[in-house]
Amino acid sequence: MSKFVVTGGRELEGKVDVSGAKNAILPIIAASLLTSDKIILEEAPDLLDVQVMGQVIESLGGKVKRKNKKLHIENRDIENIEAPYDLISKMRASIFIMGPLLARKGRIRISHPGGCAIGSRPINWHIKGLELLGAQVRMDNGFLDVSASRLKAARIYLDFPSVGATENIMMAAVNAEGTTIVENAAQEPEIVDLANFINEMGGKIRGAGTNIINIEGVKELHGTTHTIIPDRIEAGTYILMAAACGGEVLVRNVIPVHLTSLLAKLDEAGVVYKEEDDGIRVIGKGNYHAVDIKTQVHPGFSTDLQAPIMAMLTRAHGTSMVTETVFENRFMHVEELKRMGADIRIEGRSAIVQGVENLHPATVSASDLRAGAGLVLAALTANGTSEIREIHHIERGYEYLEVKLRGIGANITKEE
């Protein structure tokens, strides 16, 4: 297994480019199943999750090839309706093939998906939406068997604004007869990117990015070339690293409006940054105040930035409270941060973080993708050499993390 070796205590200087968004490209790759024409996705990040999703498509009969930052996808010969268990169990985003494959083939068999162990992420909202569109769902030896002779439009109210359920329903309803209305829909920027992609293929989706989405069914979709939006979580992570380490870093390929909740907290903490034409420039002083964070669905503070900002707050002046409302198991990084000298105690779904002057180096393990990013941030600020293990979690969502960090002055290597 690989690990990162980080010698911290250096200021960061220079420019770092943000890759295409992991949480945008995964459902978009799945949505390519809606057409037999060629699809080209530009700014496609080279991530483990993207590779696995490509393998899922290929297992169904599609073809996926990477050429530099582009993915070329052709799904003319889709014949299989069941993806292999070993692929589905690796990644929760594999659930995204349910909607488009059901629309394309009228049936899909899929096991319960895997992914990071950050808490309960039920798929009942996905199933409810597909059933309202006319699908029949049954359990068969640990598999979901979903079928529909013809999908028909429906009015669907989501009890929780689930991102995955919203996206799966959108993809299933694209070819349904009539106009589907999704109420209490998730509003994340990645949903807007998916809707834009489908509309570029000839779909008719309105309202993405609001809590009410209208999907007018069309008979068929065609190929297109689409550019993936920048990854707002990766951007936020580099911004937080620059703020914590000090120095001056320009984070490029950023859409600032996607980071409104994070930037508001940086203002409150006294972190100096400037929005520029080509990105966000952070003038880190390593000197900032404690703030309280409460994760919420978008446009609230993202749960995916909770671990990185908690790592930053371990050295803030004062006491911060970080409350996690989205996933119940997303404090697994706390014990690892405490191994580095952080002063944190957990009370229910909140973590009380008392800022300390310095963290010290340690050997720690990443329990999930974002926890791993938080541990890298902490190691960058610690005086000495730390090891971060289980970095396959990190590589699911951060493209060439160690290379990018070395480009702005960090002392980080990847070792076996």
Residue 34 has pLDDT above 70, yes or no: yes
Domain assignments of the chain as residue spans, ordered by start: 1-18+229-413, 21-225
368 among annotated binding-site residues: no
The torsion of the CA quartet 295, 296, 298, 303, rounded to 10 degrees, works out to 40
86 among annotated binding-site residues: no
Report the range of poorest mean pLDDT among 14-23, 93-102, 189-198.
93-102
Percent of the chain with pLDDT over 90: 86
What 3-state DSSP class applies to 237?
helix
Active site residues: 116
Residue 112: the pLDDT is 66
Q: Retrieve residue 45's tokens.
A: 């990040």
CATH of 1-18+229-413, one of 3.40.50.2020, 3.40.50.300, 3.65.10.10, 3.10.620.30: 3.65.10.10
- Name the fold adopted by 21-225: UDP-n-acetylglucosamine1-carboxyvinyl-transferase; Chain (3.65.10)
* Across 107-126, average pLDDT: 66
287 among annotated binding-site residues: no
Considering only CA atoms, which of 236, 239, 232, 154 is closest in space to residue 193? 232
Element (H, E) at 351: strand 350-354
Same fold, 1-18+229-413 and 21-225: yes
Kindly report whether the global pTM for this prediction surpasses the value 0.85.
yes
DSSP sequence for 188-215: -HHHHHHHHHHHHTT-EEE-BTBSEEEE
Place of tokens 């002057």: 357
Tens digit of each residue's pLDDT (9 = 90 or more) over 165-211 = 999 999 999 999 999 999 999 999 999 999 999 999 999 999 999 99
Report the range of poorest mean pLDDT among 55-64, 138-147, 227-236, 371-380.
138-147
304 among annotated binding-site residues: yes
Provide φ and ψ at 368, rounded to 5°: -160, 180
* pLDDT band at residue 122 using 50, 70 and 90 as cut-offs: low
Tens digit of each residue's pLDDT (9 = 90 or more) over 335-366 = 999 999 999 999 999 999 999 999 999 999 99
